Amino acid sequence: MQKQTIKDIKDLAGKTVLVRCDFNVPLEDGKITDDSRIVGALPTIEYLKKANAKVVLASHLGRPKGERKPEFSLAPVAKSLSSLLGQNVALAPDCIGAKVEKMVSDLADGDVLLLENVRFYKEETKNDPDFSKQLATLADIYVLDAFGTAHRAHASTEGVTKYLPAYAGFLIEKELNYFGQALGSPKRPLVAIIGGAKVSSKIAVLKSMLDKVDTILIGGGMAYTFFKQQGHEVGLSILETDYLDTAKEVVELAKAKGVKLLLPVDITVGDDFSNDCNIKIVEPSGIEPKWEGLDIGPKTLAMFSEIIASAGTVIWNGPVGAFEMPNFSKGTFGIAKALADSSTISIIGGGDSAAAIKKVGLVDQIDHISTGGGASLELLEGKILPGIAALLDK
């Protein structure tokens, strides 16, 4: 999917550019606990500043559900941006209206203004045309740099593109390049590691990936639906009985398409969903009635790691165990380490997998960590992301 980027804009000097960022950062007592999303937006902002554009930033934060709630104000983001950019970034009192229009018109070339939370208006998530138009009147050009919301047809991601020429920022460009290459012309073998709790949430990804990959490694809670379908006892493990036929279908499709589909060969089980429970390692056929699978076992980790080491490209979406508990984190953290140690092109599909990579401090050793869990999932499913589809084609 080739889209025009900010580098394709001929003359930015003196132009007002509305940039949709993803500043939905975690807050604790009003303080930002992880500023990586803000840092991720800096290359686009600094490029526009250097080109003497007037930069107007828009974002959401949390879920205020169309109401003005102080705890969801972008004030901490404005403070962080001011520090990171080394210049004052004012926070507008609103995202539309006469006061905001005045603040925008008063901007000098290279100035940066942050609009207040767009989700203070219910019209944002409803993709209301009038609200989109009001946002569009603030600028000459629109730039989308919020991959995390690109799968939503909201006013500030898709609606505004009906009134302004729309380009991709550097974050979006990077996402499209990595996923485009991995799904279009990957370095092979192409391996997908699909984890997470449920088959139901990943079924579309599994089916879509069967047309693209050489190998699929399945872990996490979703594996137990496959084991049950094979006739194994799964005890208290996560199980979706409605998806037993689907699991069978996926296995048969993989066989028909010549794709290796591998399930865990051993499992770390506990007699309670807690870090301090009794633990043992069993084969898939050895789960007892009152026990539950909470991680892949050491033999599975070794097998998966070997496949990762010989892969050309690996796409990882979803943890392979309850990694929030130290005793059940070995599988997920082990896969993270195997990816970091390998020479494979590694792409992490956001969400919990990205959180695991960050937790073990291996971010710098991964080729690409997606900034949007939901958006990356939909890309892997083969869906069109409305925010990106609305951008100008190359």
pLDDT tens per residue, range 153-166: 999 999 999 999 99
Tokens of 62: 């949390």
Average pLDDT over residues 22-46: 93
Q: What is the pLDDT of residue 57?
A: 98
pLDDT exceeds 70 at position 13: yes
Q: What is the pLDDT of residue 199?
A: 87
Q: What is the pLDDT of residue 358?
A: 87
Average pLDDT over residues 351-359: 87
Between the alpha carbon of residue 235 and those of residues 79, 117, 311, 369, the distances in Å are: 51, 46, 34, 34
Pair 91, 75: CB distance under 8 Å: yes
Average pLDDT over residues 21-48: 94
Q: What is the pLDDT of residue 354?
A: 87
Rounded to an integer, what distance in angstroms lies between the CA atom of residue 247 and that of residue 24? 35
Rounded to an integer, what distance in angstroms lies between the CA atom of residue 225 and that of residue 210? 18
Domains and CATH numbers, the chain: 6-174 (3.40.50.1260), 186-380 (3.40.50.1260)
Please give the positions annotated as active site.
37, 198, 351, 374
Count of C-beta atoms within a 10 Å radius of residue 71: 9
Average pLDDT over residues 189-196: 95
Q: What is the pLDDT of residue 377?
A: 85
CA proximity to 204, closest of 250, 264, 252: 250
φ, ψ for residue 4 (rounded to 5)? Answer: -70, 140
Q: What is the pLDDT of residue 375?
A: 87
pLDDT digit string, tens, across residues 113-125: 999 999 999 999 9
Q: 126: buried, middle or exposed (CB in 10 Å: 19+, 13-18, 0-12)?
A: middle
pLDDT digit string, tens, across residues 101-114: 999 999 999 999 99
Give 232's pLDDT tier (boundaries 50, 70, 90): very high
Tokens of 27: 């807050």
Give 1's pLDDT tier (boundaries 50, 70, 90): low
Secondary structure (3-state) at 64:
coil
**Could you give the percent of the chain with pLDDT greater than 90?**
86
**Could you give the percent of the chain with pLDDT greater than 70?**
99
Which ranges of 21-128 does DSSP label H, i.e. alpha helix? 36-50, 75-85, 98-105, 122-125
Mean pLDDT of the chain: 95
Q: What is the pLDDT of residue 386?
A: 94
Rounded to an integer, what distance in angstroms lies between the CA atom of residue 321 and that of residue 324? 9
Q: What is the pTM assigned to this prediction?
A: 0.89
Q: What is the pLDDT of residue 94?
A: 98
